[in-house]
Each structure stands twice: as C-alpha cells, then as structure tokens.
C-alpha cells in the first residue's frame, strides 16, 4: 500500500496506472491526492489509482527580505493601495489557498522589474473580495487617494479583484473631481504562482504608464490580448469585464482604450489626454438605496414593486431599451401590472433604462414600448452607459444632489460616461 506522508508544498512525483506526474503536494481529502502541477493548475487524483509516490524535495518557505527599499530620486514615486484580489497573492501550502503580499519589499520580490520604473510605496487599505465592496469602501479608497495626492505622489495604483473592478473605477471617477495624478486600477485574472499569471505584466504596464504619461484621471490597466506583451489603459466609466477567466477579459465599451502600453514602457495613445484645472474635490457616496432590475420573460409586477422604498432604480432592458409592459393576449395580463408598477415608481424615484446588449445606445423612440416607457417618466433615452456605470452614477447623483436635479443630471456627461458618437466596430 502506498504511503502518503508528505507536507504541503513538498515536491513529489506520482506514478499512476496511466502516467507519471510531478508537482507540489496540496492539502488533500481522505480519498483524493491533490497535486499542484507546474502550470499552476491543481489536479485531483484518486488514491486508488496511485502506484508509486516519490519525494523530490521538501518545501521550504522563503521569507521576504526585511531590508528597506532604496529610493531613486530620478524615478517617479507611486503608491500601491491594496484591496486584496488575485494580483498580490501566492499559494499558501499550509491551507491550500492563497496568501497576499502587500509590503513594498514583498512586491519587489515578486515583481523585481518595478525597481527600474518607479519608487514604490505600498500599503493595505482593505483586504476583501471585490464582490463584498460597497459605497463606503469607495469613499475609503477616495480618501486614501487624497492622502497620496497631498503627500506628493506622482500616481496611485489600486490593486483590486476583477469581478467588480469596473464598478470601483466608475465610482472613483465620479468621486475624485479635478484629479491631477493618474489613479490606475489593476487586477489579475490568475494568481502570481501560475505560469499563465497576468499579474506581473498588468502591474508593470501600470507603472510604466504612470511614469511616462501626463494622464490625470482614473483608469483600468489589464491585458490587451492573451499574449504577455502589452496592456490597455481603459476608461474608468466605459469598460467592462467580458470573460470570466481570460487575461484580456476587460474591454472598452463603445469607445477606444485610452492607450496601449507594452512591457518596455512604450505608450500608443488612442484618446487625447486632457489636463485638468482646479483643486481636488471629493464628492462621496451616502447610504442611498439603488437597485438593478433585469428584464426577462415571464416577469412579475412584484419584482418591480419590490423597489418602492428605494431611492433609485436601473432597468436593464432588452434591445434598444424595452421592458415587458404590453398586453398582447390572455397570457400577458401580468405585463400590464408591470407597466402600472413602473408608472408608480417613476413618479417617486429616478428610473433609468440601460440595455442588456452592453454595446450600442438606448433609443426608446423607435418602438411603441419605448415611447410608452418615456411617457411614464423612465429616463435614459439616447444614452450609452453600461448598466454598471449607470448604477454607480445614479447612486452618486442621489448622494450629492437634490432628487429633482438628478432627473436631469443623469443625462449629462459628467465623467466621460456618455459618448456623443460611438464606435461602429463593437468588439475587436
């Protein structure tokens, strides 16, 4: 009988009935042997199929160097603010999960290329999954950015989980008025211990962009393709995650990326970089209640009335901005009730239409459904905001302006969230 007396992180070789495999031993369940392969993936092997196990080397944890990072007066200084996420993580072989590294020394050990690009400061703001962030965390990040501006930082990088990164970028773009330095949000689809990780390139390109540009705004830096050559600098309010795992998951919506940055620091601009005037001002979020309701077949009026006590509502409609509100036969009587509830809501709170299509523009003038929705006060006609940006913008407006003003301001272009013209080619 094969014995399995190994510690997490030990390098081992397993021979099964079909093949020989080598990798790192991970904490395993009773009947399954988990091996982390060299490509970074975990493989579960039924212990009944293992013929032989050989220890190749014992695991030894490398402790980060404690020596302080030397500053180079010729290089710009940036601060990395961490919220957690995959980008600063590596495998913890005691638990089988990942651990995060946040100090400048630890980051430079993981990404030594940064030493030649910038002086690095780094600290943890809030270590949590991106799906758990809320409006108060956006306020916290904005205040931390303000501290760095006052301290003379040449730029700020915010490491962030990718799932809601585009919500946070939109929020900061609205909060940070008259921002004079680049604030770049950087994520990673794959952790740094994996051979296919995108962490290093995303961080290097973000640093290169800050060091070599005069950009003054919030943006996102993520892979431009599946190759490890360059990253896009993407607009904060016009970008979205379009794939669950690809390294080039983030795309600009209805517009071009701001720039393309390669690993050597070469920058190719697709948009003009505008210089801002005035003093930095923070317009923070309050505890407002805004919802998102997605149109779907067989919709019930109760789904709409649920939001009667909310401050605002985003409707993610179909096509050009439609909702199931028409009674066309005996099976669609509920649609009339949906329409009635929307009419009630629109008299009380801002109700804003977006489209499930992601690309394109809302046009509620084309069909009867859209015209009926406009007649009862549904907003958003002519806009090309993503659902996520519309949600953030509505919450921000409700936090900073009188409700009666929000009905008009939702259609004004405040932070490059609305295009007068949009690209014909919707996805490269």
Tokens at residue 178, please? 């008259």
- Residue 67: pLDDT over 60: no
**Residues in the chain, how many?**
428
- Continuous segment of H or E residues that includes residue 167: helix 165-175
What is the full DSSP assignment across 344-377?
HHHHHS-EEEEETTSSS---TTSSHHHHHHHHTT
Q: Where are the CATH 3.40.50.40 domain residues in the chain?
A: 290-409
Weakest-pLDDT range from 27-41, 47-61, 111-125: 27-41
User: Structurally, what CATH architecture does the domain formed by 11-57 represent?
Assistant: Roll (2.30)
Active site residues: 86, 162-163, 241
Q: Per mean pLDDT, which range of 1-5, 135-139, 196-200, 221-225 is the poorest?
A: 1-5
Average pLDDT over residues 53-66: 73
> In which residue ranges of the chain is CATH 2.30.30.520 found?
11-57
Class of domain 77-282: alpha beta
pLDDT tens digits, 257-294:
999 999 899 999 998 888 888 899 999 999 999 999 99
Structure tokens at 7: 């510690």
The topology under which CATH files domain 290-409 is Rossmann fold (3.40.50)
Distance (Å, whole) CA 111 – CA 93:
21
- For 209-221, the DSSP string reads HHHH----SEEEE
pLDDT of 5: 74
Q: Express each pLDDT in 304-327 by its tens digit.
A: 999 999 999 999 999 999 999 999
Lowest mean pLDDT among 69-73, 322-326, 354-358, 394-398: 69-73
Residue 95 binned pLDDT confidence (cut-offs 50, 70, 90): very low
- Give percent of the chain with pLDDT exceeding 90: 62
Strands (E) across 253-325 are located at 259-262, 267-269, 281-282, 290-294, 312-317
Nearest Cα neighbor of 120 from 64, 72, 77, 156 is 77
Whole-Å CA distances, 136 to 43, 171, 307: 39, 11, 22
Stretch(es) of the chain classified as CATH 3.40.50.1170: 77-282
Based on the number of CB atoms within 10 Å of its own CB, is 301 exposed (0-12), middle (13-18) or buried (19 or more)? middle
pLDDT for 399 beyond 70: yes
Question: What is the rounded average pLDDT of the residues 181-186?
Answer: 96
Average pLDDT, the chain: 88
pLDDT over 60 (residue 193): no
pLDDT at 415: 96
CA pair distance 341, 304, nearest whole angstrom: 6
Position 1 scores a pLDDT of 54
pTM greater than the 0.85 cutoff: no
């Amino acid at each position: 009988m094969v014995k399995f007396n190994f510690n997490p992180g030990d390098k081992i070789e397993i021979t099964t009935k079909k093949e020989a495999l080598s990798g790192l031993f991970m904490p395993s369940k009773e009947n399954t042997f988990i091996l982390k392969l060299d490509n970074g993936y975990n493989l579960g092997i039924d212990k009944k199929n293992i013929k032989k196990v050989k220890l190749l080397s014992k695991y030894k944890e490398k402790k980060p160097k404690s020596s302080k990072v030397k500053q180079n007066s010729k290089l710009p200084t940036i601060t990395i603010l961490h919220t957690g996420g995959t980008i600063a993580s590596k495998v913890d072989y005691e638990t089988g999960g990942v651990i995060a590294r946040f100090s400048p020394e630890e980051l430079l050990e993981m990404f030594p290329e940064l030493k030649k690009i910038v002086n690095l400061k780094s600290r943890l703001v809030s270590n949590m999954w991106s799906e758990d962030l809320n409006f108060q965390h956006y306020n916290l990040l904005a205040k931390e950015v303000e501290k760095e501006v006052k301290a003379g930082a040449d730029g700020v990088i915010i490491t962030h989980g990718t799932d809601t990164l585009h919500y946070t970028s939109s929020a900061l773009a609205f909060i940070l008025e008259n921002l004079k330095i680049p604030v770049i949000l950087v994520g990673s689809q794959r952790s740094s211990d994996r051979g296919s990780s995108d962490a290093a390139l995303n961080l290097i390109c973000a640093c290169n962009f800050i060091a070599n540009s005069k950009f003054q705004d919030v943006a996102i830096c993520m892979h431009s393709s599946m190759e490890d050559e360059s990253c896009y600098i993407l607009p904060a309010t016009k970008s979205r995650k379009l794939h669950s795992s690809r390294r080039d998951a983030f795309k600009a919506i209805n517009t071009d990326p701001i720039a393309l940055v390669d690993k050597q620091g070469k920058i190719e601009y697709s948009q003009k970089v505008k210089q801002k005037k005035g003093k930095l001002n923070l317009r923070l979020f309050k505890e407002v209640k805004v919802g998102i309701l997605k149109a779907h077949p067989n919709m019930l009026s109760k789904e709409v009335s649920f939001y009667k006590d909310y401050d605002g509502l985003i409707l993610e409609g179909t096509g050009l901005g439609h909702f199931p509100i028409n009674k066309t036969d005996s099976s669609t009587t509920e649609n009339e009730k949906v329409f009635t509830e929307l009419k009630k809501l629109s008299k009380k709170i801002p109700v804003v239409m977006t489209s499930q299509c992601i690309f394109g523009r809302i046009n509620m003038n084309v069909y009867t459904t859209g015209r009926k929705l406009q007649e009862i006060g549904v907003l958003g006609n002519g806009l090309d905001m993503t659902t996520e940006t519309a949600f953030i913008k509505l919450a921000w407006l409700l936090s900073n302006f009188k409700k009666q003003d929000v009905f008009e301001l939702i259609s004004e272009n405040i932070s490059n969230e609305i295009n007068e013209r949009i690209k014909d080619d919707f996805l490269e």
